[in-house]
Amino acid sequence: MNNKRTSVKTDNGLIIVCENLESNPHCPHGPTLLYKRMSGGKETRQYYACSSYQNRKDCSFMFSNKTVEERKRQIVIKERKRLFPGDFTELGERLERLKMLKPSERFFCATCSTLIFLEEQNEHTEHILKNDVTDHLLTHPSQLLLLQSDSKREAQFMFSVNAVEVILSGLKALNFNKIICMGTPTIHERIMENKDGMESILLDIDHRYLQFYASGQFCWFNMMNCFPMKGQHTFDRVVDFLHSDNVVVLMDPPFSARSEPLAYTLTKLDSIYQQQMRENPLPVVWIFPYFKEKDIVSARPDMVMLDYDVKYTNHKKFNESDKTSVIRIFTNQDASKFALPDSEGYRFCKKCNRWVSKHNKHCDKCKICPSKNGQPYKHCDICGRCIKQSWQHCYECNRCALLKHPCHLWQTRIVQKQEKTVVKDAIKRKPTMKISKAAKKRMKPNERSKPI
Ligand SMILES: C[S@@+](CC[C@H](N)C(=O)[O-])C[C@H]1O[C@@H](n2cnc3c(N)ncnc32)[C@H](O)[C@@H]1O
Ligand SMILES: [Zn+2]
Ligand SMILES: [Zn+2]
Ligand SMILES: [Zn+2]
Ligand SMILES: [Zn+2]
Ligand SMILES: [Zn+2]
Ligand SMILES: [Zn+2]
């Protein structure tokens, strides 16, 4: 699996380096990432910070260099223990005891997010208690837990019923029967419920799932640095899965997550998978916004984007209403086998050999079904590619854009870029050569500065 690129420039001028994470200082969520702040092309500051929580109030640990004094290391260890102080054996026993009880004798404290027994109620006075925890709820914790929907945190958005069906039938059609559900609790719950020849294990940063599953069914895991939060031994069943045939990693990370740390984790998992002398890379199904396609493909060139519009039950915008969502499925598997529902207007394009959305018409000039956002596209003969219907070709800055676009700014940028290139070329050829004003004027703005 190709993961040559190990750093990525983020929108706010931060470069994230994902190399040898094991040797980076740890925060309570495992190895930190090295962030380099850039300004005017120069590095102004570098520091190590949490891989998972973007907001410092959610994880305040920050280190200026690799060596961390023992006192601070002890604080981190203490903090990690504080995140989840329970022990696995005790949790397993509690779950077994709860299963034996009638739903009316099972309680869930929404304030503490814990399952409790009748006799423990007085430890939760003035808390919000839920009674009648049915067998269904006990095996579908995502329907019981209060979900964290902050996009800079866990971003717990659960798939719509249709999305679950499409993903599961795609996995079945591709013959996978061991599913590593990374941040996909709903699919894990469905597989555990059906047991139709599929097995699954959930990997998630939300430790509240620990109380609902036996140890081989859930691993408290950080997918931004491939870190099992309760020790390597909790990862044993994941390794067993990776050593089996017909295994796939299904992941739905928070939309705001960077692709590089995620690609780092996939590379780590792939190296375990390859211990069995495989001919192909680890199969992956990755759910992410379509506008991050470039990031995904540059980190993992074997991934292709499917047209399916992934919707959620509890997302403000990307819910089951008629509005289209920006979330798509990416995979390194045969896209033709990932059938999309014709009842929702998807159709199979024979020329592209994949399922496409209703308005995604095949362009014989581009030789693809070009639409990324599910809306119709049209071909621009000057740019030689398909663009959104609402765009048109602008002869001033020589690119396709919305009618209202910063034309002058783009023209200036193009000229500046060209000047730089000409100066560079001139220096290469003849170090003292000057470029005349007339020559600069002759330069035509014919370069695209931004991707469509
Ligand atoms: C967008 S939700 C995906 C849920 C999925 N749509 C489903 O219905 O099963 C993101 C999931 O990733 C988990 N998550 C967030 N950050 C994580 C991290 N750093 N490591 C592992 N899991 C994480 C969240 O707890 C949540 O389950
Ligand atoms: Zn942290
Ligand atoms: Zn409580
Ligand atoms: Zn096509
Ligand atoms: Zn075209
Ligand atoms: Zn054009
Ligand atoms: Zn223009």
Element (H, E) at 287: strand 284-289
Cα–Cα separations (whole angstroms), residue 140 to 89, 137, 185, 187, 311: 21, 5, 9, 10, 19
Taking the chain (452 residues) in consecutive chunks of 10 residues, what is each chunk's mean pLDDT? Answer: 43 82 95 91 90 90 90 91 82 93 95 92 93 95 89 88 96 97 98 90 96 94 96 96 98 93 96 96 97 93 96 84 88 96 96 96 97 95 96 94 93 73 60 41 33 28
Q: What pLDDT score was predicted for residue 353?
A: 96
Task: Record the tokens describing residue 404, joined without a space.
Answer: 């209202």
| Distant-in-sequence, close-in-space partners of 231: CB < 8 Å, separation ≥ 6 | none
CA-proximal residue: ligand 1, atom 16 (nearest): 154
Q: How far does residue 275's CA lie from ligand 4's centre (Å)?
A: 37
Q: How far does residue 36's CA lie from ligand 6's centre (Å)?
A: 36
Ligand 1: does its nearest atom lie under 6 Å from the Cβ of 252?
yes
Ligand 1: does its nearest atom lie under 6 Å from the Cβ of 116?
no
Q: What pLDDT score was predicted for residue 313?
A: 92
DSSP state of 64: S
| Distant-in-sequence, close-in-space partners of 426: CB < 8 Å, separation ≥ 6 | 433, 435
The CATH classification number of 152-339 equals 3.40.50.150
Q: How many other C-beta atoms can be found within 10 angstroms of the C-beta atom of residue 300? A: 23
CA-proximal residue: ligand 1, atom 24 (nearest): 154
Q: Give the mutation target among 208, 223, 260 for probing the ligand 1 site: most ligand atoms within 8 A of CB.
A: 223
Rounded distance between C-alpha atoms, residue 282 and residue 272, angstroms:
9
Element (H, E) at 36: strand 33-39
DSSP-derived secondary structure for 76-113: HHHHHHHH----HHHHHHHHHHHHHS-GGGEEEETTTT
Q: Give the mutation target among 159, 162, 168, 205 for probing the ligand 1 site: most ligand atoms within 8 A of CB.
A: 205
Q: How many other C-beta atoms can be found within 10 angstroms of the C-beta atom of residue 33? A: 25
Atom nearest to 187 CA in ligand 1: 9
Rounded distance between C-alpha atoms, residue 340 and residue 346, angstroms:
6
Q: What pLDDT score was predicted for residue 432?
A: 39
CA-CA-CA-CA torsion sign (279, 285, 291, 295): negative
Rounded distance between C-alpha atoms, residue 79 and residue 5, angstroms:
32
Q: What is the pTM of this model?
A: 0.88
Ligand 1: does its nearest atom lie under 6 Å from the Cβ of 185?
yes
- Among 115, 74, 121, which Cα is nearest to 95's? 115
Q: What pLDDT score was predicted for residue 317?
A: 79
Rounded distance between C-alpha atoms, residue 140 and residue 34, angstroms:
37
Q: Give ranges for CATH 3.40.50.150 in the chain.
A: 152-339
Q: How far does residue 353's CA lie from ligand 4's centre (Å)?
A: 7
Helical spans, DSSP H, in 278-362: 293-299
Q: How far does residue 296's CA lie from ligand 6's centre (Å)?
A: 26
Q: Give the mutation target among 55, 140, 182, 252 for probing the ligand 1 site: most ligand atoms within 8 A of CB.
A: 252
β-bridge partners, 107: 116, 131
